[in-house]
Chains A and B, each alone.
Chain A
Amino acid sequence: MEKYLYIALFAPLVSSLFAALFTTTPKKKFVGIVASLLIFTAFVSSSILLTHILGTGEIVHLELMTWMATGNLYIPFGFVVDQISVTMMMVVTLVSTIVHIYAIGYMDHDSGFNRFFSYLSAFVFSMMILVMSDNFAGLFIGWEGVGLCSWLLIGFWFHKESATWAANEAFIMNRIADLGMLIGIFLVYWNTGTLQYDGAFAAFANLDHATLTWIGIFLFIGAMGKSAQFPLHTWLADAMEGPTPVSALIHAATMVTAGVYLVVRSNELYALIPNVGLFIASLGAFVAIFAATMALVNRDIKRVIAYSTLSQLGYMFAAAGLGAYWVALFHLMAHAFFKALLFLGAGNVMHAMHDELDPFKMGALGKTMKGTMIMMTLASVALAGIFPLAGFFSKDLILEVAFVDHHFIIYTVLLLTAGLTAFYSFRIIALIFHGEDRHTALGHHPHEAYKFMLIAMSPLLILAIIAGFTMKMPYFEMVTELLPATEYHIHSHLTYWIMTIGTQAFVILSIFFAYKKYMSSAIKIPDGTSKMENSFAYKLLINQYYIPYAYEEYLVKPYKELSTVLWEKVDQKVVDASVDGIAHIFYNTGKNTRHMQSGNLSTMLKWMVAGTVALLSLAVVFGLAARYSGEITTILSGLGV
């Protein structure tokens, strides 16, 4: 099985390096094809590993070589394929295969075609390291690697200021979280003496609660960055500047879920610190509704989907925080399928509309882009959680978890979010595909995407439809070999049915409401005059709660200003000036006293006499004091000194 592990791991690397050879040459289609094939190979290997694990339940664990070894520290390049990582591997390789193929079409006209595949494959490689590593350091390699690739890919169109800005923002924000993660890793090392998962987890049982809490918090800070949890969430929406396949792969299906993966992977840790878990869950629930509200009004389809991703990540964290790790992982998987699909669909739309992203400028695209419309609608249905599509099984399960665990506030929030999710998903569906034709007036002549792109998307569509009811139980059985096998059943059947049906009804109502509101012919391109656009709530939401503004205003600018002050005022005027000042003291003293050497002999003689007389005075005072020391002492004692 090692062989397949290596293939799964290194095929993307080979792909990346292969594509890299052609980065400076003009577009070559075969680069894309070869890359896709190699990623597909990885997918196949992952599948073989999956069947192996499903069949034997045996974990594949091996060490490639030593990475760092010094003192007590020993970090190998070690890889483990167990139930958790194989899930991730499947998701990653599958989605990336599809995205690769899709990108052959999507990037067709881009001059950086070859480079794109190099980056994309490099990303897959990093992601594989992230999920397959058997220790925290290896995880961190992947963690940073995906960050790097994300930077490269967001800034792929580096001539665009907004793209490069977003790339840097994403990277830096992730770095902040990575610091937390690094500290978490240090804590693990100094408390357990190892960074291997198995060794560390085994040692956790003996640690005191406070230490574990700190470890949990710091690792979670790392997860927050990568998964764009509040308050480190702003980069995700901005990251939509990257090419759409990137958004689909990185910012929907894989990288952003790394945080969830980390929490799930560290389940043995979080199981010991339920208070941190509760915090994670609460934060997740908050982010779920927080992101959903922002998605309500946004006028950029990719951003809407990005907020939706954010919201769904909130769900996952809510589940993971509550201890339902397998549920979180399941939702992660299901979400990957339909969210990637949604993004790719959006990509088709964008392509058709020449990178126009405002749904208000589209309308009635369903006529020309039937395939895309169907796919996106179904993906949205899945996202909304309508039976029997994937979302129903994964998302409703999270609601149940919250309910069963008696976290009713979280439950309520999540339920509300479910309604909002349905609303905003179908808001854009309605705006894009239905209603009046608003784009022709703007000079767009949309067309359907290449057929092979649609075909490439189809596995995702199928999975989005069937993943729920076909995979849930086998998955449960597989993954609970490692994860706590808690089943979440509402004991009263009545309650169960009321809840399920109630939720479904609520969601469907939201969908109808969305259709009703946004299919009407009265929809116009907003111009800032309508009453709604001037309402406080709308402004708050469209400005993302003013958080980016606040960051810009209260963090970025002060940082910039402080830097300038530090350089111009402190470094030059204080630190450096004091050094030069010392030098100048000597120089100026020399300059000001050199006139002592007036060149006049008389002055020279005077100096000489003066020097002698000065010394003489000192000598005589000293001598007299010595001579009359007795008397002086008497007088002084008489004075009472």
Chain B
Amino acid sequence: MLDHILSILIFFPAFAGVMGFMINKESMRAYGTAVAAIEFALSLWLWFSFDNSVSGMQFMEHMALIPSFGINYILGVDGISLFIIIMASFFTMIGIASLSPAHSIKNMIITLLFLQMTMIGVFAALDAIVFYVFWELSLVPMLYLIGAWGGPLRIYASVKFFLYTFTGSLVMLVGMLFMAYFFYQATGVWSFAILDWYRLILPESFQLWLFAAFFFGFAIKVPMFPFHTWLPYAHGQAPTIGSVILAAVLLKMGTYAFIRFSLPLFPDASVFFMYPIAILAIIMIIYTAMVAYAQKDIKQVVAYSSVSHMGVIILGTFALNVEGISGSIFLMIAHGVVSGALFLLVGVIYDRRHTKLMSEFGGLAHVMPRYATIFGLMLMASVGMPLTINFVGEFLSLLGFYQQSHILTLLAGIAIVVGAIYMLTAFKKIFFGEVTNEKNRNLPDVSKRELLALIPLSIITVWLGIYPKPVLGPINNSVEAVVQLMHNKATSHEAKMRIPNVSGVVISKTAMKEGH
């Protein structure tokens, strides 16, 4: 069974989703939760069976799909994708479990299960086309989620989300086809397998163009400035569960793809574009943080804060060293947990008041102390308080990038200041002060169902903040392999300089220290 665990992980939710059509409306939530829980258990089993000491791909599956055009169904996980997969299944589970009553909940749960399939598919795919299939397919359930259960502007938001990302990924698709063509020219065989592509060393000029094509697709997904404007709409209009999954998992596809595709395939181009991208990332960090500060809607604040944090992830990725990339992957998980939790939290008051305007609230800490506490915890995680999950990622990302550029890191570091500004201001507006709005006077505190989602997230936030090793270790191993690959493949002198040579010494050094 372990030979096919990834396929099972991918298709089990979809199968269950199809079966779900037969389930009675009343029992749908229980069904959904059960399926998601099984899926989560499976993903935990995956983690359990995962060999931490191996840096390459594990649980590989291979099946011919269109061999004459080089398209094959290839799956596999390494330390980079493992945890994002677990996170995806985790969030689906708690998302469904904590779902607040909505119309057509059956459709919603089925949609979520399909969404889960696509999410896991993206992170497990090792064939560019299979990857692309899931990548694009993930848009559809999300489109439906936003469009059917969203706010007043939901149709605009969902269509914008779909078309924007769709456009970007089409450019990426052209890039992929080019890549396959180059591979064909070099070897005489068509192949879309990523691991095959890794072996291909392209001249720098080709790398630049292909990098740009891939970048376009990924950047919109991340979303990077100036391609980010779909996100506030999507988040602002999406139902809570939609925002949670969007922020926690879907955005990670972009950053994950950078690490899976852009860096190892185009090391020279990565170095070439490092500064421009870093500058974009910094604009993202500071600009969106400032925009977040100007928001009136709490969900928009969280949405923009997402963009801001994604900037740090990008920066860490383009540190091109083990510290930065590990940090950025860790931050992906961290950001998923924290912003997912924040969106859930926003959903809590939205469910009660059906408004997200901060001016409607104030003094909620009196009325809903538990809620305020959890919000406060997540707020602190969001601003990167040490011993919370976010700090580890942010610290490592910035630390990593510092090797590449001092001044840019200094600028990027402003994140910790501006992040605090908008977050604290928002917190103050909602929770502090006297209760001025009568409607808020008798709001119930978080319910058990909501706690069901929030408590595990809080625990993870603190646990991985204090003890990130179980996650960071496997990530580190895989990232070292990636960086080494990049170093070996780099052709230009500058790239060789910029990308460190991770020799075996380092690993043993770490191991020695661990022993000590």
A residues bordering B, Cβ < 8 Å? 23-24, 63, 65-74, 76, 137, 140-141, 144-145, 148, 151, 155, 158-159, 161, 164-165, 167-168, 171-172, 175-176, 178-179, 182-183, 185-187, 189-190, 559-560, 562-564, 566-568, 570-571, 575-576, 579, 583
Contact = CB atoms under 8 A, between A and B. Distances in A.
B510 A69 contact: yes
Interface in B115-156: none
Given A66-B469, A563-B290, A183 B326 contact: no
Q: Which of A167, A178, A566 has the most CB of B within 10 A?
A: A566
B448 interface: no
A161 B436 CA distance: 13
Given A24-B369, A74-B510, A171 B399 contact: no
Contacts of B229: 571, 575-576, 579
A183 B403 contact: no
B480 A148 contact: no
A155 B510 contact: no
Nearest to B327: A70
18 contacts: A67-B469, A68-B392, A69-B513, A70-B327, A71-B321, A73-B399, A76-B513, A144-B386, A164-B432, A175-B417, A176-B417, A179-B413, A179-B417, A183-B413, A186-B402, A190-B402, A567-B290, A575-B226
Interface of B: 160, 163-164, 225-230, 287, 290-291, 293-295, 321-323, 326-327, 363, 365-366, 369-370, 373, 380, 383, 385-387, 391-392, 395-396, 398-400, 402-403, 406, 409-410, 413-414, 416-417, 420-421, 424-425, 428, 431-434, 466-469, 472-473, 475-476, 479-480, 502, 506, 509-510, 513-514, 516
A158 B424 CA distance: 13
A575 B230 CA distance: 10
B413 A140 contact: no
B433 A159 contact: yes
Nearest to B296: A567
A68 B409 CA distance: 20
A70 B513 contact: no
A562 B467 contact: no
Contacts of B414: 179
Contacts of A67: 466-469
B386 A70 contact: no
B380 A148 contact: yes
A71 B509 contact: no
A439 to B, nearest CB: 28
Contacts of B363: 159
Given A24-B370, A186-B398, A69 B476 contact: yes
Give 9 closest A-B pairs by Cβ, nearest first: A71-B322, A576-B229, A563-B294, A186-B402, A567-B294, A141-B386, A70-B326, A164-B432, A158-B432
Contacts of B469: 66-69
B502 A70 contact: no
Contacts of B164: 579
Given A168-B425, A183-B413, A161 B510 contact: no
A559 B290 contact: yes
A63 B369 CA distance: 37
Contacts of A167: 424
A605 B510 CA distance: 79
Nearest to A140: B386
Given A24-B370, A566-B287, A583-B163, A71 B424 contact: no
Nearest to B286: A566
A137 B417 CA distance: 18
A43 to B, nearest CB: 24
Given A70-B472, A171-B420, A575-B225, 11 more contacts: A71-B326, A71-B502, A72-B509, A159-B433, A164-B432, A182-B413, A183-B410, A185-B399, A190-B403, A575-B228, A579-B160
A70 B479 contact: yes
A434 B425 CA distance: 43
A30 B513 CA distance: 44
A568 B400 CA distance: 34
B323 A73 contact: yes
A439 B163 CA distance: 71
A564 B428 contact: no
Given A23-B373, A179-B413, A70 B433 contact: no
Nearest to A577: B229
Contacts of B228: 575
Contacts of B514: 66, 69
A308 to B, nearest CB: 28
Contacts of B365: 158
A556 B472 CA distance: 39
Q: Which of A137, A164, A562 has the most CB of B within 10 A?
A: A164
B330 to A, nearest CB: 8
B424 A172 contact: yes
Contacts of B295: 567
Contact of A73 (B163, B226, B396): B396
Given A68-B468, A70-B479, A72-B506, A141 B387 contact: yes
Q: Which of A74, A155, A167, A186 has the most CB of B within 10 A?
A: A186
Nearest to B466: A67
Contacts of B434: 159
B241 to A, nearest CB: 25
Nearest to A139: B386
A533 to B, nearest CB: 33
Contacts of B420: 171-172, 175
B366 A186 contact: no
Nearest to A562: B290
A143 B409 CA distance: 20
B294 A564 contact: yes
A559 B386 CA distance: 27
B166 to A, nearest CB: 12
Contact of B428 (A148, A168, A179, A579): A168
A168 to B, nearest CB: 4
A144 B510 contact: no
Nearest to B380: A148
A265 B264 CA distance: 42
Given A67-B468, A71-B321, A71-B476, A566 B291 contact: yes
Nearest to A169: B424
Contact of A568 (B163, B294, B373): B294
Given A168-B424, A182-B398, A186-B409, A571 B163 contact: no
B467 A65 contact: yes
B424 A159 contact: no
Contacts of B467: 65, 67
Contacts of B327: 70
B17 to A, nearest CB: 32
B83 to A, nearest CB: 14
Contact of A164 (B290, B402, B428, B479): B428
Given A72-B323, A164-B432, A168-B428, A148 B399 contact: no
B428 to A, nearest CB: 5
B420 to A, nearest CB: 5
Contact of B387 (A145, A168, A183, A562): A145
A72 B500 CA distance: 11
A183 to B, nearest CB: 6
A158 B431 contact: yes
Contacts of B386: 137, 140-141, 144-145
A566 B289 CA distance: 10
Nearest to B410: A183
A164 B416 contact: no
Contacts of A24: 369-370
Contacts of A140: 386
Nearest to B400: A71
Contacts of B291: 563, 566-567, 571
Nearest to B422: A563
Nearest to A218: B410
A571 B510 CA distance: 45
A68 B395 contact: yes
B320 to A, nearest CB: 11
Contact of A23 (B226, B369, B380, B472): B369
Contacts of A74: 510, 513
